[in-house]
Amino acid sequence: MEEAGFPEREAHVAEHSALIEHAKVRLQLFRNGAIGALVMPNFLKAWLIPHMQIMDRKYAAFLRRHGVR
């Protein structure tokens, strides 16, 4: 992303960083017995699908516009 000059790189990376932090919290809650086993996959699905549909598609379109196939 940095090498390609993607203008939304910082926002994209921030989303990934936020995902990691939220996942760590949920993992700790799971280990403590505060949440069930399906919370993590449901959380990841709720994050991943919109992220791919919006952010990753923007990045792919940017790369295509700049000749990357």
Residue 13 CA to residue 60 CA, distance in Å, equals 15
Percent of the chain whose pLDDT exceeds 70: 100
* Beta strands, E only, the chain: none
Q: For residue 14, name the pLDDT band (cuts at 50, 70, 90).
A: very high
Mean pLDDT of the chain: 95
The whole-number average pLDDT for the span 24-33 is 96
What sign for the dihedral angle of Cα 15, 18, 22, 27? positive
pLDDT digits (tens, 9 = 90+) for 36-64: 999 999 999 999 999 999 999 999 999 99
